[in-house]
A and B are shown apart, each in its own frame.
Chain A
């Protein structure tokens, strides 16, 4: 019997009994197959907010509204009155003269951006393995969302047809 074998046996038995040696940085870690993110030994403290529920509800509700808004938008823009070829500065200026279309576009912008960002947040939560990666990706996405939403809102409200 070589000492080598004994070592390995010790490693194996300590794993089987305690579940320790998983992701603790000791050499025995190489001897198990870990999933991408194992549950932490301690369950994280609860946040006690309804944020996840509100995000989930927002996804459903905004989705329903967006179906109407976007399909309507596509039909008006792409099929009615000669399709895409009619779209020019005058056409957009004419539409935005009416508060109804301003509201439509504003609502569509906000809902679509937040809906998309919320979906991306879910994807990032799923696939980013490290906390720091997740934070950076979410930060970037949040900044891009805020920028687009604010810029769009600004344009809709300050649009001047006589530019």
Chain B
């Protein structure tokens, strides 16, 4: 159709892409390092990097690990916000490093990065996740049914599926549980993530184990310890309305017991 010899259109975006080097800014990562082999106390260490502000915090961490200090330790796996490995406390808030862009965490100032709170720190940004998964297992996050297995799939209406849709999004990154002040003080509390995953089955019309799960969450360390500070809802990288889910479990308990 049009002449292929036309000049390439000039746009600001293209110019910027051509001299990409000018887009780079100096970013300071202030990481709370803890190496038990070296020192029993954690230290804050600054790393200066030349980064594109549109890159993610995880890219910055990778750059530190690959180019500056190979001893920096953190978990990451898929790097696309679905495996839930790289939850960390960035500028005082729990986020996934792979879903946080540098430009969104004010790269003019040093970006503080530390391990999530409330769980035992093993090294640098790596925490012991065992207690977290123990609480998760305790709420029996699997389908419980009675009677014979049907010969075909268990059908469910769209409305019934919608009922617990929000809580199916959980990736078990522990951002919510480790942002909960009740959990910080008392690791025995089941924590938002376990309750979210209990909610996912309690309100599933195909599941018949709701009463057992409610019984577990009715106990001392269950939903009644939640005091709705909304830290969990704010921290959730998947946008789950965590506090709402917890309140729904509370309501289910109250209405079933009376």
Contact = CB atoms under 8 A, between A and B. Distances in A.
A binds B: yes
Interface of A: 8-9, 11-12, 15-16, 19, 22, 30-40, 43-44, 46-48, 50, 52-53, 55-57, 122, 125-127
Contacts of A22: 120, 128
B182 interface: yes
Contacts, number: 91
Of A9, A12, A19, A53, the most chain B CB neighbours within 10 A belong to A53
Contacts of B185: 36-37, 126-127
A128 to B, nearest CB: 9
A19 B128 contact: yes
Contact of A52 (B134, B216, B219): B219
A32 B128 contact: yes
A43 B138 contact: yes
A34 B219 contact: no
- B118, B184, B185, B227 interface centre (most CB from chain A within 10 Å): B185
Nearest to A51: B220
Nearest to B131: A39
Contacts of B93: none
B79 interface: no
Given A22-B120, A31-B40, A33-B121, A56 B186 contact: no
26 contacts: A8-B36, A8-B37, A12-B123, A15-B36, A15-B122, A16-B122, A19-B128, A22-B120, A30-B40, A32-B120, A33-B120, A35-B118, A35-B119, A35-B187, A36-B185, A36-B186, A37-B185, A38-B131, A43-B135, A43-B138, A44-B188, A47-B220, A50-B218, A53-B224, A55-B224, A122-B227
Contacts of A39: 131, 134-135, 187-188
Interface stretch (B165-173, B195-203, B249-257): B249-257
Contacts of B122: 15-16, 32
- The 8 A-B pairs at the shortest CB distance, nearest first, are namely A31-B36, A39-B131, A33-B121, A52-B224, A39-B187, A19-B130, A56-B224, A8-B37
